[in-house]
A and B are shown apart, each in its own frame.
Chain A
Amino acid sequence: METLLDALAEAVRLLASGDAETVEILLRSLRVSLAATAIACAVALPAAYGLAFGRFRGRGLLVATVNTGMGLPPVVVGLVVTVFLWRSGPLGELELLYTTTGMVIAQALIAAPLVCAFAVAALQGGVDPGLRLQLRGLGATRLRLALALLREARLGLCAAAMAGFGAALSEVGAAMMVGGNIAGETRVLTTGAVLATSRGDFALALALGLVLLIVAFAVTAMLTVLQQRAAPLRA
């Protein structure tokens, strides 16, 4: 209990005093995870559209695969990405290991299946089944049709993006493996908390965890406000 109270006090102190190191890793966490989520959305949303409305052989299997991807352990993703980014690996030339760019890639891979799976569900469940035919019947081009349907499902798509962001921000396995938790370069809130734990500084670890929750809440709250504004008015 004492540790928890210590942690709370420490978290408040770190944030209120604008502790330089904490602010630095906080901003890095945000930058990396936001970038990863943006990439994940850019890839996953078009894919989700194809999966939701396409009719092709193996579609169901593909959807099942994407759904399974939600359960990928981040540390496994991190390991695979690391193997690719090793100097001896196929992408070693890019020198992305132990960089934030590498971390963005790994986190995007973790977030993408989540965003895609939720987006498919949002498109299939949240869009009037007759609407697609109707909009085509009004002469919509393929692109405009896609945009209109994505717009129609925006509540669920917002949730999908939030899910992806939450996963990226809170994961530690991939950030640790691909980033290396290097002070001043690739340390983020989660890996910083792990380091503090291994040093036995549990109060700091919990404090960083609390900072992470606050950050996650701030971003998610913004998106939720947007989402709820787009929600239907009461009849």
Chain B
Amino acid sequence: MPARVGRAAAALLVIALVALAGACGGDDEKGELILATTTSTQDSGLLDELVPAFEADSGYTVKTVAVGTGQALELGEKGEADVLLVHAPTSEDELVATGTTGRRLLVMHNDFLLVGPAADPAGVQGQAAAAALAAIAEAGAPFVSRGDDSGTHKLELALWTQAGVEPDGGWYEESGQGMGATLQIADQKAAYTLVDRATYLASESRASSPILVEGDASLLNVYHVIEMTTRAGDRVNEDGARAFADFVVSAEAQALIGAFGVEEFGQQLFVPDAGKAEGALAPAA
């Protein structure tokens, strides 16, 4: 009996050690690149197409770390990430001001939608975004915010400011979660919420929470790619960052971006904008 136990224990130990060997390692060929981006960008699925295409072209291995906007920018500033793909222009400007970045290039945009209960108690349908939010606050209609300092959240807060309203009260809830979860919550509670087009199209809440406001210029969600440099940290892979930025604004990538989602949803999810002037942007059709 002890012999059998001993042998079985030894077998388990061997398995564990082999597991250890397997778990470690994985070396890079050309080099590794850390791309910090946001959860909503990753959730859209766009990166699942863009990143492999870049890796195939360039030979780099990309580690995509999807975190909140604040964390992504922080990682960049500390040199823990090599290149950023984010969509929070005001915060991005702050990062650029630190002098640690390389180029900051316009990549694409998508837009946000104001969705809510079909009954539309606040009567926001067809209004401009800021006016719609003001109406919601006035009516005290339930609204779910992401409340997590993400790019989405910051855009929402900017709209409240534009509407001249401080969102406060039982009708305003903060989920503290990602876009998909927030949309589900709003749908369950028959509440209004702001959601990006890609997440909305991919979700199952479309039927019960129709689009009420879209197309407003203030609902644009603009993406930039930001290169980090060794001024942020010694180990920053400047060459890799440059290669990724170049790729993302290249014709090949821009075509991928423009085609993304068309087959599945019948409409563009992102509008490629590389090379355009910063001010001139139009919403997706």
Do the two chains touch directly in the complex (Cβ atoms below 8 Å apart)?
A: yes
A60 at the interface (CB under 8 A from B): no
Give the interface SS of chain A, mostly helix, strand, loop or mixed.
helix
- Interface residue total, chain B, C-beta cutoff 8 A: 43
Total of A-B residue pairs, C-beta within 8 Å: 104
* A13 interface hit (Cβ, 8 Å): no
CA distance A103 to B20 in the complex (A): 11
Measured between alpha carbons, how far is A63 from B189 in the docked complex, in Å? 50
Cβ of B23 < 8 Å from any Cβ of A? yes
- Report B199 CB to chain A, min CB distance, Å: 8
> Across the interface, do B15 and A230 meet the contact criterion of CB distance under 8 Å?
no
Measured between beta carbons, the chain A residues less than 8 angstroms from B17 are 35, 38
Smallest CB separation, A104 vs chain B (Å): 5
- Contact, CB under 8 Å: A200 / B80: no
Binds A, one of B6-14, B83-91, B96-104, B109-117: B6-14
B12 adjacent to A223 (CB under 8 Å): yes
For residue B56, CB closer than 8 A to chain A, the reply is: no
The contact size tier of chain A is: 35 or more
Say whether, besides A35-B16, A87-B80, A198-B177, A180 and B23 are in contact (CB < 8 Å): no
A100 and B24 contact, CB distance less than 8 A: yes
B12, B39, B43, B183: most-surrounded residue (chain A CB, <10 A) = B12
Say yes or no: A98 contacts B9, CB within 8 Å. Answer: no
Closest to B78 in A: A88
Task: Write out the residue numbers on chain B whose beta carbons fall within 8 Å of the beta carbon of A86.
Answer: 78, 80
Residue contacts A-B, CB under 8 angstroms, 25 given = A31-B19, A32-B23, A34-B15, A35-B19, A87-B234, A88-B233, A98-B63, A99-B26, A104-B24, A180-B65, A182-B63, A182-B65, A183-B48, A185-B26, A185-B63, A197-B177, A199-B43, A199-B181, A200-B178, A200-B184, A226-B5, A229-B5, A230-B1, A230-B2, A230-B5
